[in-house]
Amino acid sequence: MKVYKILYIAMVLLKEKLKEIQTENIKKEVKVGIIGAGYVGLVTAAGLAYKGYNVLLVEKDKEKLKKIKQGICPFYEPDLQRYLLEGIESGRLSFRENISELVSECRYIFVCVGTPIKDDSTYDMYYLDIVAKEIANNLKNDFRIIIIRSTVPPGTGRWFKKAILRYRRGVKANFEVVSMPEFLREGNAIYDFFNPSRIIIGSDNYDIGKEVSELYSDFGAPILIVSLEEAEIIKLASNAFLAMRISFINSIANLAEVFDSNIENIRLGIGLDPRIGTEFLKAGIGFGGSCLPKDLSALISVFNNYQINPILFEAVKIINDERIDIFINKIKKALWNIKNKILTVWGVSFKANTDDIRESPALKIIPKLVQEGAFINVYDPKGLHNFQSYIQKNYPHFSNSIKLIENIYESTVNSSAILITNDWDEYKRVNYYNIYELMETPIIIDGRNIVNPLEMREIGFEYYSIGNNIK
Ligand SMILES: NC(=O)c1ccc[n+]([C@@H]2O[C@H](COP(=O)([O-])OP(=O)(O)OC[C@H]3O[C@@H](n4cnc5c(N)ncnc54)[C@H](O)[C@@H]3O)[C@@H](O)[C@H]2O)c1
């Protein structure tokens, strides 16, 4: 009896192993093309290669591509470099010079190019149009599935299809377009790639949607196959909802300050309702980054375009824009005078764990303080190099008033106040006793509510935060 049991278990294990080997071999044969090696494209490329797929990557920026080919990640994203190197060394991640090679080799082509917004707050379709043209000019008889991962307004997938057909000028083409919005968070992109909350696949053709979903069948995430437009709306609505939660709590923080209340208590009290929860309810100086502000503005344009009232989203944006002045006023109120004072800004990336400074609140706060005569010492664990380029390009005349400092302690020497503008863990770990000694006047104005008020006050700091007037 015992022998039979052991034999049975061995057979089950062998079957499982064979299935695994078979799946691995199938994956190796599946060629996936990726267009664009930004945050989305590079993470997808390295991640799919790690999962066993044969990934081919095209990136038009030659400098960026050169670094990537050497296994160097062109931006800071935790763990990405490790996966990138592993992909290259395993031979599962390789590079192609142009899109035509991807089209001839890969059944699946992921489009991960940028979709910035223009001055009129509508999405710029320029990069997608170029990709559509290149694909159209190189489609042959083999069937191709083009998967749009860029964030786009509803209707884009259908336009993309139409654009390809137009560029073909009547010559038959064998392809399908799928919308597959990306939900990764910068700073957590690798974790999010391997642990997605959901896989949304938009397609006119259910069988194609199902086929694409097979690529992600072992990710353990719920997979939802919907229409092209539904997928596009899901992405924009998700970002708008997150933005709305942040503006919501920031509005409540304004009220909390009037009554000398602590927004953290209020947040907890609201969030204990399981229908609400505490995620994305952190009061601060507002949201930034390459996604929320852009996608919110573009959603407002989409609503206007279809004569739908965008008032809810306009309010979210107005409340977010106001955060900058509210913070500046808090600084001025705390300091009495800021002219000729050294102020230390901790944080130029839009949040912790990234060097991405796009739409970071600090980009608006620092120039306003300089305009009022302050000298700024800037520290950020990873964002300084991008910030330096930003200042050189946009505010070259401010360069004498802004000092970039690579050591957090040094950044506080003779400073009149520390202004915390993003949420790196490092700010919680520094020795505030030492910092207290280095500063001219020991004041902290915490725009992210990340350090412990009681500890700061015990050391002797004057501490101000958001949604909390308690002395
Ligand atoms: N960054 C995020 O956290 C995030 C999250 C979800 C969705 N998105 C969306 O994904 C898209 C890409 O975002 P990103 O942050 O990765 O952008 P990015 O600007 O960092 O990267 C885009 C890359 O595409 C390359 N590219 C453009 N045209 C190309 C072409 N014709 N051939 C080859 N390469 C080309 C660019 O050189 C660039 O390296 C955007 O629509 C964005 O809104 C971004």
Name the DSSP class of 336.
Answer: S
188 & 278 share domain:
no
Mutate to test the pocket of ligand 1, among 35, 39, 180 (most ligand atoms within 8 A of CB): 39
Q: Tell me, what's the pLDDT at 314?
A: 98
81 & 218 share domain:
yes
Q: Is 44 in the pocket of ligand 1 (CB under 6 A)?
A: no
Q: Is 77 in the pocket of ligand 1 (CB under 6 A)?
A: no
Confidence of residue 470 (pLDDT cuts 50, 70, 90): low
- H runs (alpha helix) in 398-465: 426-429, 432-438, 453-459
* Amino acid sitting at position 101: E
The residue with tokens 């931006």 is: 75
Which residues are annotated as catalytic? 291
The residue with tokens 């001025």 is: 332
In the sheet with 375-379, reading across from the earlier edge strand, the strands are 402-404, 375-379, 342-346, 417-420, 443-446, 462-464
Confidence of residue 17 (pLDDT cuts 50, 70, 90): low
| Any domain includes 56 | yes
pTM of the model: 0.93
Domain boundary among 206, 226, 246: 226
Q: Tell me, what's the pLDDT at 257?
A: 95
**32 beta partners:** 55, 108
191 & 273 share domain:
no
| Any domain includes 236 | no
Q: Residue 275: exposed, middle, or buried by beta-carbon count in 10 A (0-12, 13-18, 19+)?
A: exposed
279 & 176 share domain:
no
In the sheet with 199-202, reading across from the earlier edge strand, the strands are 93-95, 54-58, 31-35, 108-111, 144-148, 175-179, 199-202, 223-226
How far apart are the C-alpha atoms of 253 and 261, rounded to whole Å?
A: 9
Confidence of residue 51 (pLDDT cuts 50, 70, 90): very high
Average pLDDT of the chain?
95
What's the rounded mean pLDDT across residues 104-121?
Answer: 96
| pLDDT single digits (tens) 417-468 | 999 999 999 999 999 999 999 999 999 999 999 999 999 999 999 999 999 8
| Any domain includes 426 | yes
Check which CATH number belongs to the domain holding 133 and give it: 3.40.50.720
Q: Is 59 in the pocket of ligand 1 (CB under 6 A)?
A: yes
How big is the CA angle at 93 (ends 87 and 94), to the nearest 5 degrees? 140
Q: Tell me, what's the pLDDT at 6?
A: 73
Residues 150, 130: contact at Cβ < 8 Å?
A: no
- Ligand 1 centre and the CA of 193: distance in Å? 16
| Any domain includes 255 | no
Structural domain boundaries, residue 346: 263-464
Confidence of residue 15 (pLDDT cuts 50, 70, 90): confident
- Ligand 1 centre and the CA of 444: distance in Å? 36
The number of domains in the chain is: 2
Q: Tell me, what's the pLDDT at 7?
A: 72
The residue with tokens 């989305």 is: 40
Q: Tell me, what's the pLDDT at 12?
A: 72
| pLDDT single digits (tens) 331-347 | 999 999 999 999 999 99
Task: Judge whether residue 298 has pLDDT over 70.
Answer: yes
